Chain A
Amino acid sequence: MKRMWNVAALGAVIVIGLGTFAVDATEPKAEWALDISSNPSVWEDAVVEIGYSREDDVEQRFEVTTEESHITSNLNYIAEGLRYRERLNGDARSIHRIMNGWTYAQSIRTEDGYIGVGQDGMKELIVFKQEDGEKLSTFSFDASDSKIYDIVNGVWAGAFLNDGQLNLIYRDGYDENVKTMIATFNEAMNEVTVKELRMDIGFITHVINTNRFYATDVSSQVTETRYISVGVSSYEVIREGEEEINVEDPDPGLFAYDTKTGKVVQLAEGQGFWDDTVSGHNLFALNEDGEEVVIDLNTGKKTTREVLDSVDHAFYENGRLYQTRQAKDGVVIDVYEDGKQISSAAITPENEEARDMLKQIDVYVR
């Protein structure tokens, strides 16, 4: 009987210590609500992502829909796996599977599924194409060929489709010797031609709607257009003592690669833009005055319309413009489509934990 006391004492220590830990680990999490003021149909399939970040606290993320609010950061392994399975659509699963072991990839999403190009270290360049959202075909180019080696070694800006052919824009060389290159894969995707893209100034940094590696859910479906929206940057030389450092500096304005002339053209000049997106064959961009510039990427025709009185925090998603602003009781989200406000909603705290976080949250809609 006396011996039992040792077990009981050790058991009590375990219960007290791990009980304290369990209480801490199961502290109530912040809960949020999506209060819709107008046009609820806009929010039917929308997911509001909330990010909480403070220097002296643990970062947290939440997802809020019309029906529920749940935390998505620091999940357990099982919940993380289930969430991954839920978020990865059918056609993206095979793309993620094929990218296993690769060092990098870029892709775009078409009606048929994903099409893109990846690399397996410095050994191979692999092009892949999905048909009917399922069947996946690949072709590998050996990087021992100097042309392929240069592509694999380059800094990839993004991919686009032109005449059914996949194109990859990348940078070759660094600093003042940088060249913008374009690799075109034939429709059978077993041959590649490479040419230099003559730029008047700077180099291409990104091609809109390109998925980077495993982030296959960030871009909408692409349609072939004459102008391909791209980002352009130049090097700015900064002197530190006797040393000269080249720093990438984005060129203001909107740029596009003209597939007809093979040149980069400026679609909108000298102004800063909060965000831009391509939806269908139109490029939408919001400037700092709250005006929306709409450019037809087939004709290059530009129209401008007043949308917002002032811009605080705005972004495009799924062809819609969202503007968020902090209010006393929550974060207000206004939604605009075709230059007109179509809905308004607010993210509001449901409990004390959420109220404490309110001033430090960022809100995004997908």
Chain B
Amino acid sequence: MNLLKLLSWEVERVTKPFLTLVAGLIVIQFGYLGYFLWDETNFYEQLRREGNADYQLSFLNYLNGTPYLLSLGIAVAAMLLYSVWIWYRDFQGRGTFMMRLLTMPQKRMTLFFAKLATILMMTLGLFAIEWIALKLQYIAFTSWFDGKMIPMGGSFEQAISYHGMLMVMYPSSLINFVIHQLIITIAVLFIFAFVLIERSFWQRTMWSPVLSLSILVVILTIPILGYAFLSNRLIYDETIVYVGMVLVVWASVTIWLGRRFLQTKLNV
């Protein structure tokens, strides 16, 4: 089976949960936007009657609301959980599905990259849908308050660049966007490596996840400790090179670990 077939198959398996997640996010965000517009309009009308209507609303006020932040948190949590579940699901039940997958005439790493591509496509899909949703929410926000003659401050770009989470999700530079996506990929690779190491121990006990996690914590912390040691010797441009090298090392080591455990150690 080639990569594209495996990818199609993985995407099909996740379509329903993914659409449920997207629908949930849209309902939360647009529902909260409706409430926000209604609540702020009432508040502003009250201020207007009292003669104190001298404050401006910005799109950032809506974006900093708890329900909106919660919706982003739910999406992040769902993606992290699915990155684990995409492997564990295949180990469930008797005569596990993973055994069939591993005995298929293909390189086992094709399976690894199909699952990785599925997670990345879902992540990028969420980023894409959220960007369109943000644009629509901004249009609704400005049209509503314009119609009610309620003053607004700040632009769409300013709201995004001042928002702690959105400025990371949608940085003003495309290159930074790609770098942030690479960091997300590395986080997924760490989760994959965790599952594959944990599933490869000959005797699976409660210590298996602890041992697996310990190995990854060591890989994660060595460069961080290295930076703590080097930070007083490196200046800004050198720090950027160091961080770049660490990201490459993390990506290579986690892929190598995944490959090694998937091809030679995995215990079904």
Once the chains are docked, how many angstroms separate the CA of A28 from the CA of B7?
A: 37
**Nearest CB in chain B to that of A3: its residue:** B8
Query: CB-defined interface of B127-165 with A at 8 Å, one 1/0 digit per residue?
Result: 111111001000000000000000001110110010000
Q: Which of B15, B170, B231, B237 has the most CB of A within 10 A?
A: B237
Once the chains are docked, how many angstroms separate the CA of A85 from the CA of B241?
A: 12
- Total of A-B residue pairs, C-beta within 8 Å: 118
Query: CB-defined interface of B166-183 with A at 8 Å, one 1/0 digit per residue?
Result: 000011111111010000
Q: Is the CB of A16 within 8 A of B128?
A: yes
Once the chains are docked, how many angstroms separate the CA of A236 from the CA of B16?
A: 69
Once the chains are docked, how many angstroms separate the CA of A75 from the CA of B171?
A: 10
Q: Is the CB of A13 within 8 A of B128?
A: yes
Once the chains are docked, how many angstroms separate the CA of A16 from the CA of B130?
A: 12
Q: Is A198 on the interface with B (CB-CB < 8 A)?
A: no
Count of chain A residues with a beta carbon within 8 Å of a chain B beta carbon: 39
Q: A97-B233, A100-B231 in contact; A17/B128 too (CB < 8 A)?
A: yes
Contact of B235 among A16, A57, A74, A96 (CB under 8 A): A96
**Nearest CB in chain B to that of A77: its residue:** B240
Within 8 A of A (CB), among B195-251: 231-237, 240-241
Q: Is B81 on the interface with A (CB-CB < 8 A)?
A: no
Once the chains are docked, how many angstroms separate the CA of A150 from the CA of B142?
A: 56
User: Would you give the shortest CB distance from B199 to chain A, in whole angstroms?
Assistant: 26
Q: Is the CB of A100 within 8 A of B8?
A: no
User: Would you give the shortest CB distance from B93 to chain A, in whole angstroms?
Assistant: 22
Q: Is the CB of A10 within 8 A of B125?
A: yes
Once the chains are docked, how many angstroms separate the CA of A11 from the CA of B7?
A: 12
Once the chains are docked, how many angstroms separate the CA of A75 from the CA of B174?
A: 10
Segment from A18-26, A136-144, A154-162, A183-191 that makes contact with B: A18-26
Q: Is the CB of B121 within 8 A of A81?
A: no
Q: Is the CB of A58 within 8 A of B155?
A: yes
Query: Across the interface, which residues of B come within 8 angstroms of A57, CB to CB?
Result: 155, 157-158
Q: Is B40 on the interface with A (CB-CB < 8 A)?
A: no
Query: CB-defined interface of A59-99 with B at 8 Å, one 1/0 digit per residue?
Result: 00000000000000011111111101100100001001100
Contact of A85 among B124, B161, B231, B237 (CB under 8 A): B237
**Nearest CB in chain B to that of A15: its residue:** B128
**Nearest CB in chain B to that of A74: its residue:** B172
User: Would you give the shortest CB distance from A227 to chain B, in whole angstroms?
Assistant: 36
Count of chain B residues with a beta carbon within 8 Å of a chain A beta carbon: 43
Query: Across the interface, which residues of A come within 8 angstroms of B27, CB to CB?
Result: none
Within 8 A of B (CB), among A100-154: 100-101
Query: Across the interface, which residues of A come within 8 angstroms of B161, CB to CB?
Result: 58, 74
**Nearest CB in chain A to that of B154: its residue:** A56
Contact of A21 among B131, B155, B234, B241 (CB under 8 A): B131
Q: Is the CB of A58 within 8 A of B12?
A: no
Q: Is A41 on the interface with B (CB-CB < 8 A)?
A: no
Once the chains are docked, how many angstroms separate the CA of A88 from the CA of B235?
A: 10
Q: Is B4 on the interface with A (CB-CB < 8 A)?
A: yes
Query: Across the interface, which residues of B come within 8 angstroms of A11, CB to CB?
Result: 121
Query: Across the interface, which residues of B come within 8 angstroms of A84, CB to CB?
Result: 235-237
Query: Across the interface, which residues of A come within 8 angstroms of B125, CB to CB?
Result: 10, 13-14, 17
Q: Is the CB of A17 within 8 A of B129?
A: yes
Q: Is A238 on the interface with B (CB-CB < 8 A)?
A: no
Query: Across the interface, which residues of B come within 8 angstroms of A75, CB to CB?
Result: 173
Once the chains are docked, how many angstroms separate the CA of A3 from the CA of B234?
A: 50
Query: Across the interface, which residues of A come within 8 angstroms of B12, CB to CB?
Result: 3, 6
Q: A3-B9, A17-B129, A74-B173 in contact; A100/B155 too (CB < 8 A)?
A: no
Contact of B232 among A21, A85, A100 (CB under 8 A): A100
Once the chains are docked, how many angstroms separate the CA of A55 from the CA of B58?
A: 12
Q: A81-B236, A81-B241, A101-B231 in contact; A7/B121 too (CB < 8 A)?
A: yes
Contact of A76 among B179, B233, B234 (CB under 8 A): B179
* Pairs A–B under 8 Å by Cβ, sample size 16: A4-B4, A14-B128, A17-B127, A18-B131, A21-B170, A21-B177, A25-B171, A25-B172, A58-B161, A77-B176, A78-B175, A82-B237, A84-B236, A88-B237, A100-B231, A101-B232
Q: Which 9 pairs from chain A and chain B are nearest by CB?
A: A17-B128, A3-B8, A76-B175, A81-B240, A76-B173, A81-B237, A85-B237, A74-B172, A101-B232
